[in-house]
Amino acid sequence: MLVLNSGSSSLKYRLLSGAERLASGTVERIGEPGSPVADHRAGLEAVAARLAADGLGLDSPELTAIGHRVVHGGTAFTRPTLITDEVVRGIGELVPLAPLHNPANLAGIEVARRLRPDLPQVAVFDTAFHATIPPAASTYAIDREVAARLGVRRYGFHGTSHAYVSREAALLAGGPEANVIVLHLGNGASASAVSAGRCVDTSMGMTPLEGLVMGTRSGDLDPAVVLYLARTGGMSLDEIDTLLNRRSGMLGLCGDNDMRAVTERLSEGDPDAELAVSVYCHRLRKYVGAYYAVLGTVDVIAFTGGVGENSALIRERALAGLGALGITVDPVRNARGDTLVSAEGGAVKVAVIPTDEEFEIARQTLSVVSRTNRG
């Protein structure tokens, strides 16, 4: 099985046999000035060439399916879906909701379908895991007619990661019935509340801008700030879009969006880095408290993503002061990055679980292909 994660300027791939990784990599700088990779077709040809060099051609008869990551499935796609012309059209219709991501995902799908029209290809949507969120959590309190006409509601993102990590976390708590809070902290960041395998709330909304403080995104903000920046600040909508999505978050607060650089500056006593980390961790703690309340009881809090998996400091500071909720972090286990970093006897397990989105896409692709074959 081949998994393709096609972004605006990159193409990540993994070739798997069952759970075993045969090959993986990233083709970068697609379509950028001076890049040898002009477009997604050239990108996929580069992938094919790399695989062929390893004796694993894209034309191999042993390839049984291709799984594609698609960012936005809207309300139309709430499960992994066998790709047909109609599905391609449906993904295209969602471009207004994900103008940067869905066209790139589609480019990958179109090229792969042209290269291997004989193979089943499956779209796995970032939003799908959040389709179970009840209306109380997915509905914005705005005029219902406007919201319905324009599809304004909370969809949530990073779904394949939340699905994978919440399932692994539940195993640590003894079974699939567990209540789990997942904190996916990468460049983008999101939290989710998962009960017995079903997502019941998540921090990203109609777009990935809502929720936690991220590398370059603000996360939660008084919506009137946008109006104020336009009316009083004289900024255009595109300028505000760029400000909130690309120049905010850790970058906006301290000038660095790479958490390694930020925590290094923090250890040198840099006050901007200190403020940025305290805003980042305060927001995380608020979401943990909120999702504790949403779930009623919590069995596991799972950290994942580049920051969540690697930064003991962020894990410790995000959960500081939550002992009354049974949430404690053991400093020694945390510094070692053990799978379980909670203190012995804590009511809530705190876990570090490396995410594996490509594996999850392969798993979901396989489930569709075997269902189709049976049918």
* 260 marked among binding-site residues: yes
Three-state DSSP class for 16? strand
306 labelled binding-site residue: yes
Binding mask 275-314 for ligand ADP (x = CB under 6 A): ------------------------------xxx--xx---
Structure tokens given for 143: 């005029």
Per CB under 6 A, does 252 bind ligand ADP?
no
Residue 115, annotated as binding a ligand: no
Beta carbon nearer to ligand ADP, 196 or 275: 275
Is 36 in a helix, a strand, or coil?
Answer: coil
Minimum CB separation of residue 12 from ligand ADP in Å reads: 10
Using rule CB under 6 A, residue 188 touches ligand ADP: yes
**Angle between helical axes of 101-115 and 40-53 (0-180°, round to 10):** 50
Residues in the chain: 375
Determine, following the binding rule CB under 6 A, whether residue 248 of this chain makes contact with ligand ADP. Answer: no
Q: Which phi and psi (to 5°) does residue 18 adopt?
A: 60, -130
**Tokens (6 digits) for 6:** 């096609």
> For residue 245, with 0-12 CB atoms within 10 Å meaning exposed, 13-18 middle and 19 or more buried, which class applies?
middle
Segment interacting with ligand ADP, rule: CB under 6 A, options 20-28, 74-82, 102-110, 185-193: 185-193
Segment interacting with ligand ADP (CB under 6 A) among 13-21, 23-31, 184-192, 272-280: 184-192
Task: Single out the residue of 192, 253, 181 nearest to residue 218, CA to CA.
Answer: 253
Task: Note whether 339 binds ligand ADP by CB under 6 A.
Answer: no
Closest CB 336 distance from ligand ADP, rounded Å: 13
Out of 186, 205, 211, 346, which residue is the one contacting ligand ADP (CB under 6 A)?
186
Structure tokens that stand for 337 in this block = 């990055």
293-329 CB burial, b ≥16 within 10 A, e <16: ebbeebbbbbbbbbbbbbbbbbbbbbbeebeebbbbb
143 noted as active-site residue: no
Q: How far is the CB of 236 from ligand ADP (least distance, A)?
A: 28
Q: By CB under 6 A, is residue 336 in contact with ligand ADP?
A: no
d(CA 56, CA 42): 18
Give the one residue of 179, 195, 216, 263 binding ligand ADP; rule: CB under 6 A: 263
Q: Which is nearer to ligand ADP, 116 or 315 (CB)?
A: 315
- Per the residue annotation, which of 54, 85, 118, 126 is the catalytic one? 126
337 annotated among ligand-binding-site residues: no
Mention every residue, 6+ apart, whose C-beta is less than 8 A from residue 200.
132, 133, 134, 137, 193, 194, 294, 295
Q: Which residues bind ligand ADP (CB under 6 A)?
A: 186-188, 215, 258-260, 263, 305-307, 310-311
Query: Binding site residues for ATP, as ranges?
Result: 12, 184-188, 258-260, 306-310
Enzyme catalytic residues: 126
